[in-house]
Amino acid sequence: MRQHLGPTLPSSEITPQRLYLARREFLGASVGALATAAFSANAFAASLAAKPGPFRAEDKPTAKEAVTTYNNFYEFGVEKDDPAKNAGTLRTSPWSIVVEGACDRPGTYALEDLYKPAELEERVYRHRCVEAWSMVVPWIGVPLASVLQKVGATSNAKYVAFETLYDKEQMPGQSRRVLEWPYREGLRIDEAMHPLTLLAVGLYGETLPNQNGAPVRLVVPWKYGFKGIKSIVRIKLQDSQPRTAWNVSAPSEYGFYSNVNPDVDHPRWSQKTERRIGEFRRRETLPFNGYGEQVAELYAGMDLRRNF
């Protein structure tokens, strides 16, 4: 297993702290720079303290520049650089999340009320996109399990359904029906409660940039990236398997589980290898994205070709 438990270097030492501070000083000193920054999606990223958490992949983290400029977030356009260009229209504060369904304390929660700042952990996860590219990201967040315990998920909660914000003003990409909006995702309850499953609010020592799913997103490192629903406004605990956006769009190509699996190809392309962003040669894709030791037992006895 290419990872180990326990505290190691926080990402503030991966990327020199001085660099961040210097940038901040520069921004603070220059009115012009501030004015420019107001138009960039990243303008309000604030530093975010977090204790080093478990599950830190030993892989070298992908450059922050790449993590924040190359991703899919169709709510802001279908090209990889669209989110970074267009996500400035998203207003992330205040932010509330509706929690409903099979739980003892349903209601509308302010994001801040779902976790305590002291609970925030940094975790370095491999991220594998279904398009056969990958990254390594130092996320900051809390285990989804802690939030589900807080709202008192009951035994009727067999699945968790998530929804992204649906607002064409803030998310211009939703004016075109590329997918069924709002974006929906879901997990089986044991997947949702698994210690690896993270509700992320930051990356690289700062609050999430808008383009990466601010202010709160899901990170499920053993599944393809699209399972990591962004800008979450609704969490529903239910007893039936939820609809998920890509499955609705192309059921033969994107299953509910979507576990990273080099042996089950996408119907149109191979999933055997991936290009790690920043590397030249492709690398082999690992079953469950290298997290098999932690999660394979969740799927014991299941046919993963049928349940792709």
Partner 1 sequence: MTKRIRDRVIYAVVWLACAAPLLFLVYWGLNDQLGANPITTGLRFLGLWGLRFLVAGLAITPLRGWFGWNFLQRYRRTIGLWGFAYVALHLLTYIGVDQFFDWNTILKDVLKRPYITFGMLGFVLLIPLAVTSTNAMVRRLGGRRWRQLHKLAYVIAPLGVLHYDLLVKADTTWPWMYAAILAVLLGWRVWQVRTRRAATRPVSA
281 vs 305, beta carbon nearer partner 1? 281
Residue 229 counted as an annotated binding residue? yes
Compute the distance between CA of residue 275 and CA of residue 268 in angstroms, rounded to an integer: 17
Give yes or no for residue 59 binding partner 1 (CB under 8 A).
no
Compute the distance between CA of residue 131 and CA of residue 174 in angstroms, rounded to an integer: 21
CB atoms within 10 A of CB 269: 11
Closest separation between CB of residue 132 and partner 1, Å? 9
Give yes or no for residue 13 binding partner 1 (CB under 8 A).
no
Closest separation between CB of residue 127 and partner 1, Å? 13
> Which neighbouring-strand residues pair with 283?
274
Interaction residues for partner 1, span 267-296 (CB under 8 A): 268-270, 272-273, 275, 277-278, 280-282
Closest separation between CB of residue 269 and partner 1, Å? 6
Give the closest residue to 242 by CA, choosing from 109, 115, 100, 77: 100
Give yes or no for residue 256 binding partner 1 (CB under 8 A).
no
Binding partner 1 by CB under 8 A: which of 13, 25, 58, 65? 65
Interaction residues for partner 1, span 26-45 (CB under 8 A): none
Compute the distance between CA of residue 155 and CA of residue 180 in angstroms, rounded to an integer: 30
Give yes or no for residue 70 binding partner 1 (CB under 8 A).
yes
Closest separation between CB of residue 161 and partner 1, Å? 21
Residue 75 counted as an annotated binding residue? yes
Residue 230 counted as an annotated binding residue? yes
Residue 164 counted as an annotated binding residue? yes
Binding partner 1 by CB under 8 A: which of 14, 37, 43, 66? 66
Residue 255 counted as an annotated binding residue? no
Closest separation between CB of residue 62 and partner 1, Å? 8
10 vs 225, beta carbon nearer partner 1? 225
Residue 109 counted as an annotated binding residue? no
Compute the distance between CA of residue 9 and CA of residue 52 in angstroms, rounded to an integer: 7
197 vs 210, beta carbon nearer partner 1? 210
**What single string gives the DSSP state of each residue in the chain?**
--EE-S----HHHHTTHHHHHHHHHHHHH-HHHHHHHTTSTTTT--B---EE-S-EE-SPPPPHHHHHHS---GGG-SSTTHHHHHGGG---SS-EEEEEESBSS-EEEEGGGGS-GGG-EEEEEEEE-TTSEEEEEEEEEEEHHHHHHHTTB-TT--EEEEEE---TTT-GGGGS-SSPSSPEEEEEHHHHHSTT-EEEEEETTEEPPGGGTTT-EEE-TTB-GGGS--SEEEEEEESSPPP-HHHHH-TTT--SS-B--TTS--SSS--SEEEETT-SS-EEPPGGGGTHHHHGGGGTT--TTT--
Binding partner 1 by CB under 8 A: which of 13, 81, 113, 263? 81
Closest separation between CB of residue 98 and partner 1, Å? 27
Segment interacting with partner 1, rule: CB under 8 A, options 42-50, 77-85, 228-236, 289-297: 77-85
Give yes or no for residue 158 binding partner 1 (CB under 8 A).
no
- Residues placed in the known binding site: 71, 74-75, 129, 164, 212, 217, 228-230
Interface residues with partner 1 (CB under 8 A) are 63, 65-66, 69-70, 74, 78, 80-81, 131, 133, 176, 178-179, 249-250, 268-270, 272-273, 275, 277-278, 280-282
- Residues placed in the known binding site for Mo-molybdopterin: 71, 74-75, 129, 164, 212, 217, 228-230
